[in-house]
Structure 1
Amino acid sequence: MVKAVVLGAAGGIGQPLSLLLKTNPLVTELALYDIVNTPGVAADLSHIATPAKVEGFLPPDDGLKKALKGADVVVIPAGVPRKPGMTRDDLFKINAGIVRDLATGIATTAPKAFVLVISNPVNSTVPIVAEVFKKHGVFDPKRIFGVTTLDVVRSSTFVSEILGDLSLAPSVTVPVVGGHSGVTIIPLLSQSSHPLPSNLSQDKFEALVKRIQFGGDEVVKAKDGAGSATLSMAYAGAEFTAKILRAVKGEKGIVAPTFVNLSADKTSGDALKKEIGKDLEYFSAPVELGPEGVVTIRPLGKLSDYEKKLVEAAIPELETNIEKGVSFIGSSKL
């Protein structure tokens, strides 16, 4: 029996994510929570002929607590989407408070659940969840994850486009490390399972890196003020959730890049800090998953000179993002 909970289930990411989780055979119970519309979303999904029982909850009458009771996995896509002209600071001010309150609910009702954070900015919201859990004395770094899978999905798609064959996309694997916004997104294209053409110009290579880093802007612009990356993010979120569920069930050898607290495995976390040359508390790296969450944090491996520069450029931004999340809880009343 596996209970999955989606917090923010009526939103642009939440609805398609809930649909995908309803179709996952490993999920036997699906609880949906949002400030509006969740009973309707749940009723709609409940008609789909898959085993998961679906129920929707609203804030009144302890809805959050009821949704979270007995949760095994909690996925958080709650928050407002980024709109044209909106800075990440604007986004942070709104979403930080939402994530803090939801994290408080998890810490007090389902502290052993695996928490998968989608709400942006992930580089700050994951530290927010962790700090809330620390204040409640239930912090386990092995069980809190920032979902960076969309960067991996985009890399697979864009590389297959350059190779001229989209049918390759499901099999193209590119490790993406660092964080989950702009310059903190570091695609390790030198380690791609499908090497780029040897005659690809430097200009086109750098354009590919930028497209992976700023793919979200491409979607925001194309939607012309009507939203951000919701469908692709829902797909990516469901993919990562599926990996967590498979690992919990005992499947071995599952590795996925994710933004984690590097104390989740002290030995490999300390080794990664030496590799990047900075004592960061959080970093996205390929993580081996197991029944307890993080098993080990894989090294970045051999980087090209260009990739080393990307890591150097990402570190100051990551430091700022992480500190912003930590400070937000430090100054909050829980």
Structure 2
Amino acid sequence: MFRNIYKTNFLLRNLCNPPVCPPIVPMVVTLIGGSSRVGQLTALQLKQCSLIHELRLFEFKPFGQTGVVMDLNHMPFSTKVVSYSGLDSLRDAVTDAQVVVICGGEPPKPTMKEYDLFLENADYVRDVALHTAEFNPNTILCITTPPVTAMVPLASEEYKRAKVYDPKKIIGVTTLGVARTNSVIGAYSEQDPGAVMCPLIGGMGTSTMVPVLSQTETGPKLPKPAVELLHNKICKSEDEALSLKYLENSGPCILSSSFATARFVTSVVQGLNDNFKGYECAFVRQTGHIEPFLSYMTSVIKLNRKGVKSLHMPYVNDMEGEKLQKAAIIIRKQIKWGESYVTGELLEKKRRVRRPIHECEIIKLDEQSRICDIGMDKCSDKC
């Protein structure tokens, strides 16, 4: 049931490029890290989106973007590209923007620990969150800077301190994980990867992402050992690509990352225009009966004018449930990284602690209820 609904909406969203009809309101998108390699490639694709009226490129460095902006404006598309440079101009860059996208920062490297990556990028994301919370709290904040599982809680805590927190407007982009998952499944099953749609839950890392292969056409047909091999192949795809690119001295995986970022931002813009009919996967604040298990998690979402319209949890089998239980231990730790970076609490000590076992009730759904719709309007007061 889930894969049929999901695939149908996915195909509807991808029958063609973003609609050519004029936007309902002038749409302004701010891209943080616009002069980075991944930022430039993302801007190249967003420049071609007819729904975006103005694309603002911001870079913390006080110079280095003028040529990039002029180069982009030489493309014959209606989207206007504007440059903002230096911390002093960050306020102007985010003010009145409907969408703010945080990309760039320190990219992941082979064998690099996620905590070290978090420390490298925490201030980068926090500076933007401070400005958006102060000068434009109603914007949709999309975070792609890794690790997303720690950066979304970090930004959320800044919004809570400013008393403007809305869980529907802070989104961790995990579209790259979905793209890799669909590509690996397509290559394995010898079918068009664009026709594959595998929902992704958990986090956005080798040890935290859980592709729900049971909800694809390929997964149920495979024996358990083959499913395990395919799962490992998907989870290790980023590490394999990074290793090869660094051996070739070609840097991080900016091509697939920029594609995924641009695709998700286009979906958000379509949602703001009430023109988004499909689904996306994203790392967002959880509500309802999922929250006691994980306060933040990658799940299937719908988008509208307010950001995240609703959350959906696909039915998972026993093997996927076990993997989600293991991933949840790491995700909780990374959530704590982001929250404690703002609140000032001491981070967890590096020692073994006996953790309570959390029953994952969300995976005990029966076959007749494979999707659990969770209305974001029912968010608890403590959010």
Q: 1:295 aligns with which of 290, 309, 315?
A: 309
State the distance in 2 between where 1:299 and 1:82 align: 29
- 8 A contact 1:12–1:231 mirrored in 2: no
- 8 A contact 2:167–2:285 mirrored in 1: yes
Amino acid at match of 2:232: K
* Residue in structure 1 matched with residue 34 of structure 2 by the alignment: 9
Superposition deviation, residue 226 in structure 1: 4.0
Secondary structure at the counterpart of residue 50 of structure 1: coil
- 8 A contact 2:301–2:309 mirrored in 1: yes
State the distance in 2 between where 1:40 and 1:271 align: 50
- 8 A contact 2:214–2:220 mirrored in 1: no
Q: 1:59 aligns with which of 86, 90, 101?
A: 86
CA deviation map 1:69-98 (0-9, x unaligned): 210001111311122332112111110111
- 8 A contact 1:5–1:32 mirrored in 2: yes
* Residue in structure 1 matched with residue 110 of structure 2 by the alignment: 84
* Residue in structure 2 matched with residue 243 of structure 1 by the alignment: 267
CA deviation map 1:236-275 (0-9, x unaligned): 111111111111111253321111111xxxxxx21334xx
Amino acid at match of 2:148: V
> What is the number of equivalent residue pairs in this alignment?
316
- 8 A contact 1:42–1:56 mirrored in 2: yes
TM-score, normalized by length of structure 1? 0.90
Amino acid at match of 1:229: C
State the distance in 1 between where 2:33 and 2:146 align: 13
CA deviation map 1:35-58 (0-9, x unaligned): 342222111111111111111111
State the distance in 2 between where 1:254 and 1:247 align: 10
Superposition deviation, residue 196 in structure 1: 4.0
Greater Cα radius of gyration, structure 1 or 2: 2
Superposition deviation, residue 211 in structure 1: 2.4
Amino acid at match of 1:327: S
Q: CA RMSD in A?
A: 1.7
State the distance in 1 between where 2:213 and 2:43 align: 32
- 8 A contact 2:213–2:220 mirrored in 1: no
State the distance in 1 between where 2:344 and 2:251 align: 31
State the distance in 2 between where 1:295 and 1:197 align: 30
Secondary structure at the counterpart of residue 56 of structure 1: strand
* Residue in structure 2 matched with residue 44 of structure 1 by the alignment: 71
Superposition deviation, residue 195 in structure 1: 2.1
- 8 A contact 1:118–1:147 mirrored in 2: yes
CA deviation map 1:102-132 (0-9, x unaligned): 1112112221110100000000001111111
Q: 1:299 to 1:323 in 2, by over 3 A?
A: same
- 8 A contact 1:78–1:99 mirrored in 2: no
**Mind listing any 5+ residue stretches in structure 2 that lack a counterpart?**
1-25, 346-383
- 8 A contact 1:252–1:290 mirrored in 2: yes
* Residue in structure 2 matched with residue 266 of structure 1 by the alignment: none
TM-score, normalized by length of structure 2? 0.79
* Residue in structure 2 matched with residue 23 of structure 1 by the alignment: 48
State the distance in 1 between where 2:27 and 2:327 align: 37
Superposition deviation, residue 14 in structure 1: 0.8
Amino acid at match of 1:30: L
